Amino acid sequence: MSKIQKLNRRSLLKAAGTVTGAALVGAAAPASPKVEAAEKPELEFDNSALYDAQGKFDVDKGKDAVLALCKYHGYPVFPGLRENLWVSDYNTGLFTSLGLAAYMFINNEADRYMLMDLFLLPGQMLPEHWHLDGETNPAKREGWLVRWGASHIVGIGEPNLSKDIVIPQCHMGGKVTTEHEVYATPGVFVPLAKVKTRHWQYGGPEGAILTEVANVHTNSAVRHSDPQLNKHFLGE
């Protein structure tokens, strides 16, 4: 569990603060002085630091890593975020390679609408899964809007996986069944290709923070392609 995910931003482009336009026709607007962009802090995620001496995932330290991602991107850390953040390594021991953090804003089963934010570290995979009909709810119809960073959003279709994606060995021995990706950046919305089909995600070089919208979410109706992950998620 010594894998280290590093993200460095040593230098940023200088912002040219030139005012465009003029108050009067023919009047040139004065140029504002050039301003140095503030340097973002370095993000460094040491997988082994997120586990105790017995190799158990420390949820609080996992949340610390997610909040560091939030701080890096300027995501608002509102009251209750940390306390209600769901963080899991799916019992793999490799949270920085395979895992997820999510904050559920609303999951209204009666009226069937849902909103939550997902958080992926750089190079972290959300495992391949799909959604069945629930006990009282239809299968999940969903889509994802990238807010910060970038995510490889993968589902059914013609295989075109980027070489930047390295599927961890803890996920079916480094395998998946769906390989059609959309590389989504801020402002890009990607819907699920077809209801009940398999899909997964992979954090870009700066990780990703996404907003997920859906009709409803039912935990018991989630199925994972990897039998071991599925067994853990369902508590079997």
106 within a domain of the structure (yes/no)? yes
Token pair 């700066």 is at which residue? 206
Asked if residue 19 belongs to a domain, the reply is no
**pLDDT for 17-70, tens place per residue?**
333 332 223 334 445 555 455 666 677 799 999 999 999 999 999 999 999 999
Q: Would you say residue 82 lies in a domain?
A: yes
Residue 174 lies in a domain: yes
Decide if 140 is inside a domain: yes
Q: In angstroms, rounded to a whole number, what is the distance separating the alpha carbons of residues 140 and 93?
A: 28
CATH number at residue 93: 2.60.120.10
Classify residue 8: in a domain, yes or no: no
Helix/strand/coil for 132 = coil
Q: Is residue 33 situated within a structural domain?
A: no
Stretch (H or E) spanning 67: helix 59-73
**What pLDDT was estimated at residue 44?**
79
Instruction: Report if residue 181 sits inside a domain.
Output: yes
**At 214, is the pLDDT very low, low, confident or very high (cuts 50, 70, 90)?**
very high
pLDDT at 95 (0 to 100) = 98
Residue 236: pLDDT band (50, 70, 90) is low
Percentage above 90 pLDDT, the chain:
77
**13 pLDDT higher than 60:** no
In tens, the pLDDT along 125-140 reads 999 999 999 888 999 9
Domain that holds residue 194: 46-233
Task: Record the tokens describing residue 187, joined without a space.
Answer: 């402002």
Instruction: Give the per-residue pLDDT at 159.
Output: 98
Q: Indicate the number of domains in the chain.
A: 1
Q: Region 94-106: what's the mean pLDDT?
A: 97
Q: Which residues of 44-53 are buried (b: 16+ CB within 10 A; e: fewer)?
A: ebbbeebbee
Q: What is the average per-residue pLDDT within 78-106?
A: 97
